[in-house]
Amino acid sequence: MKTNTKSSNIHFSLGDNFFDKATPAIFPNHVLRFRNNRAASRLNLDKLNDEDWISYFGKFSQFPGVEHGPLALKYHGHQFGHYNNELGDGRGFLLSQFLDKSNNLWDLGTKGSGKTNFSRGGDGRLTLKGAVRELLATELLSSLGVSTSQTLSIIETEENLHRNDEPSPTRSAVLVRRSKSHIRIGTFQRLAYLNENNNIEKLTRHVIQNYFPSLNNSENINILAENFFLESVKRIATMTGRITAAGFVHGVLNTDNFNVTGECFDYGPWRFVEFAEPNFTAAYFDYNKRYSFGRQPEAALWALTQLGNSLSSFLNEKKIIQTLNEFSRLFNNSLSKHFCWRLGIKDIGAKNVNKIMHILLQISMESKIDFSSFFYDFYGGSEAVSDCLNSSQGAKYKNEEFFEIISFLKKTYAEDGCLEKRVFFKDQFENLLIDEVELIWDQIDKNNNWTFLEDKIDRIRVMGDLLGAKKLIDF
């Protein structure tokens, strides 16, 4: 099982204050259902044969050069606003780390790989449906230009699982994701909770050296903490702007579900919105709509406030507030740029985009203006307006409330090449509403038919290539 990978043991070198060693589950069977060669190629793993792939990602054989077994990472976090000091990797672990050709550090993390010291009575398993749903989320987000973890592997393990929120018994799987980091806001919260200032400093230096190398690696921890905090605010604000423009609702934006490097990850009850409905929630248990579509920026800022509080031994209150005050500007700039990117137009500025979003949030549901279709119908800006309004789908836009948006769009200019793409986009715009997700799962669950899933991923990737998503994120 020789590979050309360049392994790293950098997280292991932090020491066992940051993880517990985990014993992976032994599964009754291993059926390879998905392998992401696009994501694997970044780490020179795409040439593995299926047998070796299963050995590494289903049986957890140790990669050459990796000096440790699985590591269950330690963290705390706020869950729906309530602090929980009993968290940690309860059904996953850090399997290994690799450096790519540009010496960027990547994690391979598991989900559904068995019990750990943090399982709290859970079985440490993942349903196959949960794995399929995470795959679909990461694929569409990637094609919509959102920095996200990549679903690297899904292996069905043929155990019968019992869950309260889906028909049981249900099928089981183990998933492996590729992510830039699994260091969460909750990782810092745990160290602050335990008053481990030395380890906060150690982790801050670790993050800057390995994930934020462009920052000045000063000897002064106060300067380091300030730079690190601002960079995390920038990255998380950027991610939040992009998921808003993508119409994505994560569902559970607890502080343990934010990594400090600003990738969207760890998907449970996610949804893509049909209409720009600010109160739309993804999680049935989000009774107070804390993480609804319109409140996700608020949730991100709240989570970043907890990160700032965790750094308070090195940052004074004034500096924390000053840094947090950057969030709104950074979020609005990200939303503006990504909104225009989805429309294929030159940036019209945050003020104008905010006006358009405000109108959409008010009228989208009542006027039955599908959020994703809006971007498709007006792709290319001004030259698309008349085509859309004169088409069969244009009637819904011919109302007084939408007139101001039309006025904005008539003044826009297409980005280079976007008008030519309109011809190809006619049949290549993809969304993932809940009915389609359930249809894909039904075909797998009832008929063991994977072609619906495979075809959907192919179409999503074609759309991403047309949009130019590769220029924005690392596949």
Spatial CA neighbour of 397 closest among 376, 424, 421: 376
What's the pLDDT band for 1 if we cut at 50, 70, 90? low
Q: Inform me whether the pLDDT recorded for 241 exceeds 60.
A: yes
- Average pLDDT over every residue of 349-371: 92
In this prediction, residue 18 carries a pLDDT of 96
The pLDDT tens digits for 322-358 are 999 999 999 999 999 999 999 999 999 999 999 999 9
C-alpha span between 315 and 310 (Å, rounded): 9
The pLDDT tens digits for 83-122 are 999 999 999 999 999 999 889 999 999 999 999 999 998 8
In this prediction, residue 395 carries a pLDDT of 85
Tokens 């000897």 locate to 219
For residue 76, the Cα-to-chain-centroid distance in whole angstroms is: 20
Q: Do the Cβ atoms of 211 and 181 come closer than 8 Å? A: yes
The two tokens of residue 394 are: 């244009």
Active site residues: 256
Highest mean pLDDT among 161-165, 216-220, 449-453: 449-453
The pLDDT tens digits for 374-414 are 999 999 999 889 888 988 788 889 888 899 999 999 999 99
In this prediction, residue 393 carries a pLDDT of 80
* DSSP letter (8 states) at residue 416: T
- For residues 246, 252, 258 and 263, what is the CA-based torsion angle, rounded to 10 degrees? -30
Cut 0.85: pTM above it = yes
Q: Inform me whether the pLDDT recorded for 447 exceeds 90.
A: yes
In this prediction, residue 345 carries a pLDDT of 94
Average pLDDT, the chain: 94
The pLDDT tens digits for 6-25 are 999 999 999 999 999 999 99
In this prediction, residue 53 carries a pLDDT of 97
Q: Do the Cβ atoms of 162 and 45 come closer than 8 Å? A: no
In this prediction, residue 279 carries a pLDDT of 96
The two tokens of residue 189 are: 């919260």
In this prediction, residue 219 carries a pLDDT of 82
* CB-count burial class (<10 Å; 0-12, 13-18, 19+) for 164: exposed
- Average pLDDT over every residue of 56-78: 95
Q: Inform me whether the pLDDT recorded for 427 exceeds 80.
A: no
Cβ neighbours of 395 (radius 10 Å): 9
Backbone angles phi, psi at 109, to 5 degrees: -120, 150
Spatial CA neighbour of 150 closest among 130, 134, 171: 134
Query: DSSP assignment of 240-253, as one string?
Result: HHHHHHTTEE-S--
- From residue 197, how far is each of 100, 203, 310 by CA, in Å? 32, 10, 9
In this prediction, residue 47 carries a pLDDT of 94
Q: Inform me whether the pLDDT recorded for 2 exceeds 70.
A: no
What's the pLDDT band for 428 if we cut at 50, 70, 90? confident
C-alpha span between 223 and 323 (Å, rounded): 13
C-alpha span between 181 and 53 (Å, rounded): 22
The two tokens of residue 119 are: 């399982």
Query: DSSP assignment of 92-116, as one string?
Result: --EEEEEE-TT--EEEEEEES----
C-alpha span between 146 and 161 (Å, rounded): 32
For residue 60, the Cα-to-chain-centroid distance in whole angstroms is: 24
- Range with the lowest mean pLDDT among 99-108, 160-169, 205-214, 443-452? 160-169
Query: DSSP assignment of 417-467, as one string?
Result: THHHHHHHHTTT-----HHHHHHHHHHHHHH---HHHHHHHHHHHHHHHHH
